[in-house]
């Protein structure tokens, strides 16, 4: 069994409420952290090797150490709960069933960063969750863990919940800050970075829900102990939102030492492909990371088993690898049409583009139109090359990563499944009545023999 740090108590009845949470060891990390200096707390997080769990995977302790500390200027911590990446639902699970774990992580992190006013910016569609969080905040405050002079240490902290209005772009930290300030959620040009000039031009750190929840076990067990879990730079545990054509969809906590094959096919995790079908492809880190065919998903280009961690999933770069991303693990069986699924994603990104940058505003619309044409059997072979050209002109040419997020799925789909796109052109009528199928996407890889010395 994998080690559980975040979901260890998720099964306990009533864990949503303060009394049950406290009885099961809740808020111990706050008591411990408030006896340390803020710098010592940051140091523990650095030692733990914790990386941002929202998608970028940037070292959390390092991000915290960047925060500016001008004299007399308030600092803010903002929790990014705008979980809108298709295929990702792990933060929702944490907030719905373990709200006090997040609140506890927020208090410790606020202390470390010197934030007396902290915000949770939550996705607009999660309409029922703010009430759960507000209740948890009220319970924590009633028991002396929030408000003025927490545990008689002189540290004050208030947490406020701010609802978004259903914009994917507000998951980008500067767009989130703009929205928090009551403006339209358009990403800002960086620099200045939020750590220097964030919410209301004050130093601000924005962290994901899972990242902040992970601070609790780090303080409880110590950064060095936490770093022993996992492998290499993929320390600790990671929540994976598993969905698609699998027998057991859900949120799983893994310690990043298992293989992708074990995760998909073992009974402990996803339980294999639904209805006895075969695995065709997978998007392992939320909709914006590159899709991989079955053979490159289970093994790297070198022929080694691919593991469920940051380094192994990225092995081979975008040519033969992908990313851990947010952990939104979407599995496709042999009956799935890659062209149709790529169109669905392109439509989403076109709809969610804020329109501030021309390459993204125009390019996402063009990609959607071309993919729809191919899917409807009205495409030309030149459309595939045009798609490739458009995505390459979007990537890296926008203020925020939404342009990249829209380009990568299209690029990866063409890179690995070009023959399926071409089949939609050459067999246009047939493509309307059946899917391309598994083809060669699960065939064993031809690994080059090492050269004789």
Q: Which pLDDT score, from 0 to 100, does residue 106 have?
A: 98
Residues 285 and 317 in one domain: yes
Give the pLDDT band of residue 56 (cuts 50, 70, 90).
confident
CA proximity to 129, closest of 157, 186, 89, 167: 89
**Bond from prior residue into 192 cis (ω within 30 degrees of 0):** yes
Q: Which pLDDT score, from 0 to 100, does residue 101 have?
A: 98
Q: Does pLDDT of 451 surpass 80?
A: no
Supply the angle between the helices 402-426 and 381-394 in degrees, to the nearest 10. Answer: 170
**Residues paired with residue 115 on neighbouring β-strands, in sequence order:** 75
The whole domain housing 411 covers 338-432
Structural domain total, the chain: 3
- The answer to whether residue 451 is domain-embedded is no
Q: Which pLDDT score, from 0 to 100, does residue 446 have?
A: 73
Residues 209 and 347 in one domain: no
Residues 387 and 259 in one domain: no
Residues 155 and 61 in one domain: yes
Residues 207 and 241 in one domain: no
Here the CATH number for the domain that contains residue 415 is: 1.20.1440.230
Tell which of 170, 204, 228 closes a domain: 228
d(CA 293, CA 377) in angstroms, rounded, equals: 23
- The answer to whether residue 255 is domain-embedded is yes
Q: Which pLDDT score, from 0 to 100, does residue 445 have?
A: 78
Q: Give the tens place of pLDDT for each residue, 195-253.
A: 999 999 999 999 999 999 999 999 999 999 999 999 999 999 999 999 999 999 999 99
- For residues 74-99, average pLDDT: 97
Q: Does pLDDT of 58 surpass 60?
A: yes
Residues 207 and 305 in one domain: no
- The answer to whether residue 12 is domain-embedded is no
- The answer to whether residue 441 is domain-embedded is no
- The answer to whether residue 4 is domain-embedded is no
Residues 223 and 103 in one domain: yes
Q: Give the tens place of pLDDT for each residue, 374-432.
A: 999 999 999 999 999 999 999 999 999 999 999 999 999 999 999 999 999 999 999 99
Q: What is the mean pLDDT of the chain?
A: 95
Q: Which pLDDT score, from 0 to 100, does residue 452 have?
A: 56
Here the CATH number for the domain that contains residue 292 is: 3.10.20.600
Q: Give the tens place of pLDDT for each residue, 179-199.
A: 999 999 999 999 999 999 999
Measuring CA to CA, how many Å separate 76 from each of 116, 153, 307, 437? 7, 19, 36, 51
- The answer to whether residue 351 is domain-embedded is yes
CA proximity to 90, closest of 227, 208, 183: 208
28: tokens are 């111990």
Residues 193 and 213 in one domain: yes
Tell which of 317, 333, 349 closes a domain: 333
Give the pLDDT band of residue 1 (cuts 50, 70, 90).
low
Residues 252 and 371 in one domain: no
Residues 326 and 348 in one domain: no
- The answer to whether residue 224 is domain-embedded is yes
Q: Which pLDDT score, from 0 to 100, does residue 444 have?
A: 84
Tell which of 333, 368, 391 closes a domain: 333
Q: Does pLDDT of 86 surpass 90?
A: yes
Residues 145 and 126 in one domain: yes
- The answer to whether residue 443 is domain-embedded is no
Residues 79 and 160 in one domain: yes
Measuring CA to CA, how many Å separate 284 from each of 50, 62, 170, 205, 405? 20, 26, 22, 27, 14
């Amino acid at each position: 069994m994998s080690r559980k740090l975040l979901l260890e108590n998720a099964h306990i009845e009533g864990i949503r409420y303060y009394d049950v949470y406290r009885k099961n060891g809740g808020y111990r990390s706050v008591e411990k952290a408030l006896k340390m200096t803020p710098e010592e707390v940051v140091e523990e997080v650095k030692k733990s090797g914790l990386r941002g769990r929202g998608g970028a995977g940037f070292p959390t302790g390092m991000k915290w150490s960047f925060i500016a500390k001008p004299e007399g200027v308030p600092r803010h911590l903002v929790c990014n709960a705008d979980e809108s990446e298709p295929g990702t639902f792990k933060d929702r699970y944490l907030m719905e069933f373990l709200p006090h774990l997040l609140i506890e992580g927020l208090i410790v992190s606020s202390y470390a960063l010197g934030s007396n006013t902290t915000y949770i910016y939550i996705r607009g569609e999660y309409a029922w969750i703010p009430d759960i969080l507000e209740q948890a905040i009220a319970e924590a405050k009633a028991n002396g863990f929030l408000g003025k002079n927490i545990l008689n240490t002189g540290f004050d902290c208030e947490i406020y919940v701010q609802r978004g209005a259903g914009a994917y772009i507000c998951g980008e930290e500067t767009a989130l800050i703009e929205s928090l300030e009551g403006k339209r959620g358009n990403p800002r040009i960086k620099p200045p970075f939020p750590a220097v000039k964030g919410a209301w031009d004050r130093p601000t750190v924005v962290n994901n829900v899972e990242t902040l929840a992970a601070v609790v076990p780090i303080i409880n067990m110590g950064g060095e102990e936490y770093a022993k879990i996992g492998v290499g730079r993929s320390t600790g545990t990671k929540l994976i939102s598993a969905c698609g054509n699998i027998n057991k969809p859900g949120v799983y906590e893994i310690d990043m030492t298992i293989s992708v094959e074990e995760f998909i096919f073992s009974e402990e995790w996803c339980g294999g492909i639904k209805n006895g079908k075969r695995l065709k492809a997978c998007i392992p880190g939320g909709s914006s990371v590159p899709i991989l065919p079955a053979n490159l998903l289970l093994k790297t280009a070198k022929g080694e088993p691919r593991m469920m961690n940051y380094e192994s999933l990225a092995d081979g770069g975008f040519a033969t690898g992908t990313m851990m991303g947010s952990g939104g693990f979407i599995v496709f069986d042999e009956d799935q049409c890659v062209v149709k699924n790529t169109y669905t994603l392109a439509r989403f990104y076109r709809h969610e583009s804020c329109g501030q940058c021309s390459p993204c505003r125009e390019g996402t619309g063009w990609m959607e139109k071309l993919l729809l044409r191919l899917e409807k059997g009205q495409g030309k072979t030149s459309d595939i090359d045009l798609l490739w050209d458009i995505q390459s002109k979007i990537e890296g040419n926008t203020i925020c990563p939404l342009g990249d997020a829209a380009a990568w799925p299209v690029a990866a789909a063409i890179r690995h499944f070009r023959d399926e796109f071409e089949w939609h052109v050459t067999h246009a009528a047939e493509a309307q009545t059946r899917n391309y199928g598994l083809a060669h996407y699960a065939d064993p890889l031809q690994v080059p023999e090492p050269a004789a010395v």
